[in-house]
């Protein structure tokens, strides 16, 4: 779909890392593979960073800048939402960490195609990256990218 290409172009320029480029490409392939489906699904807005909701209200514009006071706080909010929308099969019963179980493919609740679906996860990562200053550590963002990439690699073709 055209909207995927438009968003992907705005995402790809934000970071030159192989992981980020791979994530954007796999997300595009996922959306393309689901483009013939009814795309009325959506990811939960509960615990979603406020800026993502504002971006949606602004018609998902690639040029509208999501207001972020602090990249660190946005990252905490994004991570909290990412954890919240995960299926129970990824959540550790004893910690707030996500597991990466071998053979895991239970992603139907998070790999939701369309403009109200996984696009919002990728956009959240893009907003977080866009607001990181050169002096700020990218380790939390890199970890988030790695986890989203893991989901796309392990369940994106299901």
> CA-CA distance, 111 to 118, in Å (whole number)?
6
Q: Are 143 and 82 spatial neighbours (Cβ–Cβ below 8 Å)?
A: no
Q: What is the pLDDT of residues 92-150, one digit of tens each?
A: 988 889 999 999 988 989 999 999 999 999 999 999 999 999 888 999 999 999 999 99
> CA-CA distance, 141 to 144, in Å (whole number)?
5
Alpha carbon distances (Å) from 46 to 49, 50, 58, 158: 9, 10, 19, 26
Q: What is the pLDDT of residues 32-87, one digit of tens each?
A: 999 887 666 899 999 999 999 999 999 999 999 999 999 999 999 999 999 999 99
Diameter over CA atoms, the chain: 43
> Residue 5: which pLDDT band, with cuts at 50, 70 and 90?
very high
């Amino acid at each position: 779909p055209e909207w995927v290409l438009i968003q992907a172009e705005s995402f790809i320029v934000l970071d030159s890392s192989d992981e980020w480029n791979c994530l954007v490409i796999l997300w595009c392939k996922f959306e393309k593979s689901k483009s013939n489906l009814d795309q009325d699904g959506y990811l939960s807005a509960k615990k979603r960073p406020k800026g993502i909701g504002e971006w949606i209200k602004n018609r998902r514009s690639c040029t509208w800048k999501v207001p972020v006071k602090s990249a660190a706080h946005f990252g905490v909010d994004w991570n909290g939402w990412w954890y919240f929308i995960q299926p129970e099969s990824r959540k550790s019963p004893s910690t707030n960490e996500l597991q990466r179980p071998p053979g895991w493919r239970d992603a139907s609740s998070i790999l939701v195609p369309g403009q109200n679906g996984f696009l919002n996860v990728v956009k959240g990562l893009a907003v977080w990256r866009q607001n990181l200053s050169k002096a700020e550590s990218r380790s939390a963002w890199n970890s988030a990218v790695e986890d989203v990439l893991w989901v796309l690699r392990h369940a994106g073709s299901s």
